[in-house]
Amino acid sequence: LKYVTIPDSVVEIAWGAFCGCTSLTSVIIPDSVMKIGWSVFKGCTSLTTIIVPSSVTKIGRGAFKGCPKLTVFCSEGSAAWEYCLEKDVPCAEAAPDSAPRQNAVSQPAKSPDKKRLPDSAPRQNAVSQPAKSPDKKRLPDSAPLQNAVSQPPESPVSQAFEYELTPDGKGMILTGYNGTGGEVVIQAAYNGVPVKEIGRYVFRNCAGLVSIVLPEGMTGIGESAFEGCTGLRAVTLPGSVTEIGWSAFEGCTGLTTIIFPGSVTKIGWWAFKDCTGLTSVTLPASVKTIGDSAFGGCPNLTIRCPEGSAAWNYCEKNGIPHAAK
């Protein structure tokens, strides 16, 4: 996919819609579009031109992240213009004459309420999570589940999680964090209901978070769960985790070392990107899939892994220093 012209019936581009489309070079957005979701064009490394009309009033986080060649063409003073100035994305007022309009490939409208990654995104590296509901429940670290379900606390709680039950009702997905950080220990279960996943964005940009202990029984860490937690120094991964979502620890500059248990099979795109303090990572033979730039921007890193493993081959291919485990 190199060119996209979005039809004028589309009002919203859902999050991650074109994420990881590395061959995409140009996109034209019609005046009908009002919202561009989170990470829509993230990782489109060949994208050079995108035309954003003044009708667009909302642009989600990381919409143009990881697009080193991109210039956004939009009206001065528009929401897109202000977004580009704030995020330091190159922008210009007039669309170039070379923008492809006639031979563009049309893109069907995305459903606004779609809650999963589209086919073009690296969905195998993301941890799924149900849509957040308006009646989201809050769970203080020390509170029993029954109290949190029956009556969410009205007063401020120093360290509290928001959560949802898994579709089968037998597990819990953490969907939000209302604390200030420090040393956080997540319990394995609350009133008998086990914690199964850390959902998307739960601790994102929580600079005060110093350490996190994840419980046994947890299987997944969602997209951008700890992204931007610059104060995070230590992470304890349980032996039950199988998947690290994309951008899960991106930008955690204080993280220096991490040991993966033998249960992990997938590490998502950008999972540890720009963890500049990271010096040592131990990857087991169980890891079969590692996403693009999972360890990009980690200049001091050496990865320890079994010789001939998927991790070893990944390091060889990407020029990452490595040593036999």
CA distances in angstroms from 158 to 141, 175, 179, 181, 286, listed in the order given: 9, 17, 5, 9, 38
Instruction: State residue 192's pLDDT score.
Output: 85
Handedness of CA 69, 70, 76, 79 (dihedral sign): negative
Least trusted range by pLDDT, from 83-92, 128-137, 181-190:
128-137
Residue 94's pLDDT band (cuts 50, 70, 90): low
Most confident region among 23-32, 187-196, 286-295 by mean pLDDT: 286-295
Which two structure tokens, joined as six digits, stand for 285? 């033979």
Kind of pairing, strands 160-165 and 172-177? antiparallel
Residue 112's pLDDT band (cuts 50, 70, 90): very low
Please give the mean pLDDT across all residues of the chain: 79
Instruction: State residue 267's pLDDT score.
Output: 95
pLDDT in tens, 19-62: 888 889 888 899 999 999 888 898 898 999 899 999 999 998 88
Q: Is the pLDDT at 89 greater than 80, yes or no?
A: yes
Q: What is the DSSP letter of 123?
A: G
Tell me what the mean pLDDT of segment 241-250 comes to: 93
Tell me what the mean pLDDT of segment 110-137 comes to: 35
Q: Is the pLDDT at 115 greater than 80, yes or no?
A: no
Q: Is the pLDDT at 316 greater than 50, yes or no?
A: yes
Q: Is the pLDDT at 123 greater than 90, yes or no?
A: no
Neighbour-count burial of 187, counting CB atoms closer than 10 A to its CB (0-12 exposed, 13-18 middle, 19+ buried):
middle
Which two structure tokens, joined as six digits, stand for 264? 């992990």
**Phi/psi at 154 (nearest 5 deg)?**
-85, -30
Tell me what the mean pLDDT of segment 182-201 comes to: 89
Least trusted range by pLDDT, from 54-63, 136-145, 177-186, 212-221:
136-145
Instruction: State residue 100's pLDDT score.
Output: 37
